[in-house]
Amino acid sequence: MERPRPAGRGTPGSLVAGALLWAALALPALTADRLGLNEPRPLWLQLAGLGVLAAAVALCRRQPLASFALTAGLSLVTAPALFTVSYGPALGTFALLLGLRADRARPAAAAFAAVGVAGTARIVLVGVDPAPEWLVMTGTLLFGCVFPWLGGRYWRQSRALTEAGWQRAARLEDEQRHAEERARLRERARIAQDMHDSLGHELSLIALRAAALQVAPDLAGHHRAAAADLRAAAADATDRLHRIIGVLREDDEPVPLAPAGESVEALVARAAESGLPVRWESPDAAPAPEPGGVAERLMHRVVREALTNAARHAPGAPVVVAVTGQAHGTTVTVTNGRATEESTPSSGGSGLLGLRAAVTAVGGEFRAGPHGEGFRVRAYVPAQQTAVAVPRTPAAPFALARRRVVLGLGAAAGAGVVLVGAAFGWYAYTETHSVLDPGAYAQLRPGTPYDEVARVLPDRSVADPPAERAPAPPKGADCRYYRSSGELLVSVDHFRLCFDQEGRLVAKDVVPRAGLSGEGREEYEEFAR
């Protein structure tokens, strides 16, 4: 089934999709300020943000990394902590598209690192409360950028593997058809080989019987001529059978034939009854090959082919069939002497080549060649077929890819949890160890030496003081800020203590928490006094 083609670049479909994407991402940017989810921004800044989103949407197909970089820069300009309701959805969307459309992972990792460094620098320079803002920035970078990017890469791998799966299925179908065709060819070759070897052997035995009949002393002349013609016809039939059926044989892929219901010794006895001067020798009493096994089938085939060749090419020559059995295999030797009668001319066959391939295929040895005045065929067949190592089936590529993505997600989540946990722990430690008890603050009086004041002061002072909400400090004074409460992740009141150059307390002020009105501030200061 043909898969649909994706819309091309610049087509009406891609333009409509880009416009819809921009509208979906621009909606939070337009409504967040009006709903009070963001600090109010001027109109020109909102329009500039919409323009940046439009540019990011236009580049997201060809340059997904540039689209993400534009959105991340816009988020950092809007909020040092990177997270904003206006551009948070756009940041996660372009991170997802970056993982879906970018081939390489290193540029994306470098972009994430650059965003983290830039966000940290901006928080240090212009951040109001660096620790909480850095925590928010880190969490946004991990869970709003890295996780969507990994999800996009997982999606991309899933699509690629699905397409590869369809291609593999089509290739397997082709291979299956080819395998079926090869199986039909092998079956045809097996049948042809069986016909050639079996019928050729039987025709050779018929020729032997005709030759014995031809030389019978009590046979009339015309019968003797008929026996000669029968012998010649059997020899010609054997040659024609070889030429016609031999073209179907596959010597490089031999198929062992099932024995014709007889053992090797019975085969030799039947050939001797047909007039072939053959003798059976079995010098030892070693166990015979397993009936119906590979060794017995191959030995039967070797002996049958050797007897056929001896009857055709060396008529009248004595033949000796010797079988030697060992614990690890069996050796069969067929030796014939010099021909005593005139042989019928015939073309060379491929039977010995097929035997060599069949024997060596199971780890055996095969030799055939002249021996003295005759010819000898020797084959060694091991007791068991040589085991062929089966290659391991590799794990499914989709499972491997899914495992890599899950490991990546787990590593990112683990790193994020450790990093955020460590940062939050440090933030909690510094904030809770910079708390000045309001009662102790109320007992402090201007002019008190620092050594006496230090007895009630906490271990640390506030590292990120709300100086913008505090009154102007005395000239030349060293001012320190302390928290009035150990509450975390919320704005609390701060105490400011200012000391002169001689170390005396010259001023004490209460810096109200964010959002506290002037009237509430005066009431709190009156209470603190």
Provide mean pLDDT across the span 161-172.
84
SS3 276: coil
pTM confidence score:
0.42
Question: Please, are residues 211 and 315 in contact by the beta-carbon 8 Å criterion?
Answer: yes
CA distance linking residue 506 with residue 32, whole number of Å: 45
Q: For 394-418, how does the pLDDT look when each residue is reduced to its tens digit (9 = 90+)? A: 555 556 666 776 776 677 677 767 7
Under the banding of pLDDT at 50, 70 and 90, the label for residue 366 is very high
Mean pLDDT of the chain: 77
Of 108-117, 176-185, 421-430, give the range with the top mean pLDDT: 108-117
Q: What is the pLDDT of residue 175?
A: 86
The set of residues, in sequence order, having a beta carbon less than 8 Å from that of 40 and lying 6+ positions away, is: 33
CA distance linking residue 444 with residue 502, whole number of Å: 17
Sheet of 319-325: strand order equals: 278-281, 319-325, 329-336, 374-382, 365-371
Under the banding of pLDDT at 50, 70 and 90, the label for residue 216 is low
Under the banding of pLDDT at 50, 70 and 90, the label for residue 300 is confident
Q: What is the pLDDT of residue 436?
A: 92
Q: For 7-17, how does the pLDDT look when each residue is reduced to its tens digit (9 = 90+)? A: 455 566 678 88
Residue 480 forms beta bridges with which residues? 497
Q: What is the pLDDT of residue 256?
A: 41
Quick one: CA dihedral 171, 173, 175, 178, positive or negative?
negative
Q: How far is CA 443 from CA 367, 390, 448, 495, 523, in A?
A: 114, 87, 11, 13, 17
Q: What is the pLDDT of residue 459?
A: 87
Q: What is the pLDDT of residue 10?
A: 57
